[in-house]
Chains A and B, each alone.
Chain A
Amino acid sequence: MKLLPSPLVCRDAVELVSDYLDGTLSRRQRRRLEKHLAQCDACSAYLDQMRATIAASGTVGPEDLPSEVVEGLVNLFRQYRADE
């Protein structure tokens, strides 16, 4: 008799979310997680939060650098061009 995998609890489900979103879970793990998500609003909310966090990370864009950092590097550029 083949043993059925035990159902996931939330504490373990949250540890699979990142790999799930990257599509790197095994088929068996993915099914276990999806089965859990279908019945668990809180873990679905966690998944949504993680998805939104990753999306926002990809859109934060470059930090506003302090102007003196940019100026310092532009001065290096000028110096380099002048020495060439």
Chain B
Amino acid sequence: MDDAELLKSLLGGDESAFSELVRRYHSTLVKVARYYVASAASAEDVAQDTWIAVLKGIEKFEGRSTFKTWLLRICVNRARTSGVKEHRSIPVDPNESGPTVSAHRFDQGGFWSDPPVPFTEAIDTRLDNTAVLNAVRDAIDALAEPQQAVVTLRDVEGLSTQEVAALLGLSEANVRVIVHRGRARVREIVEEAMKGSKI
């Protein structure tokens, strides 16, 4: 069932539609909230408040945006308010201008001395391989903010760069830089995992 169908069922009071939407989006809400608030527990609280706001506001949802966008906007607004109360400053990427691939993997001329081992065959043809997907999921979970929220929105939820920028109040250029760094980090972690376990 897609979101619109679940929403219709939810309007009719269907509990299973609610729990399905929770299963679909709760972890994304927590990651996005974590960008703004000081702790994992606060992020859980924000996500929970978001669901209550959904229940309260669902009858007023006019469908001018997708349910996902509406849900994420509620979450961001609440997280921002909580973050302000906690006096939390928004995290910035500490290595924003550094290289995304360790310098020691290149020689002095800038060419690979420790080149990447292709994992195309392993990962592309085995996208249904739970171990590979788990490695990617673990890698995203291990990202620091702001990369985790931005990569989750852009690559897991499939929002466009413009949508992510509008939602989080960042410039598109900034989103592109954070996505670039986050993806490179995920790739690095998956590469390490694959070297280690030969998945």
Contact = CB atoms under 8 A, between A and B. Distances in A.
Contacts of A24: 161, 176
Interface string A42-67: 11011011101111111111110100
Contacts of A41: 115
Contacts, number: 142
Given A9-B109, A45-B117, A45-B118, A56 B132 contact: yes
A65 B23 contact: yes
A28 interface: no
A37 interface: no
B116 A62 contact: no
A24 B18 CA distance: 38
B82 to A, nearest CB: 18
B8 interface: no
B27 interface: yes
A53 B183 contact: yes
Interface string B125-148: 001000011001100100000000
A9 B110 contact: yes
Contacts of B183: 18, 50, 53-54, 57
- B contact patch SS: helix
Contacts of B22: 65, 69-70, 73-74
A14 B100 contact: yes
Nearest to B24: A62
Given A53-B190, A65-B22, 20 more contacts: A10-B112, A11-B101, A14-B101, A15-B100, A22-B176, A24-B176, A42-B116, A49-B118, A49-B123, A50-B183, A53-B186, A54-B155, A55-B127, A56-B123, A57-B155, A57-B156, A62-B25, A70-B22, A70-B23, A73-B48
Interface in A66-84: 69-70, 72-74, 76-78, 80-81
Interface string B14-55: 010011001111111000000000000000000010011001
B120 interface: yes
Given A10-B110, A24-B176, A48 B23 contact: no
A5 to B, nearest CB: 15
B52 A80 contact: yes
Contacts of B76: none
B80 interface: no
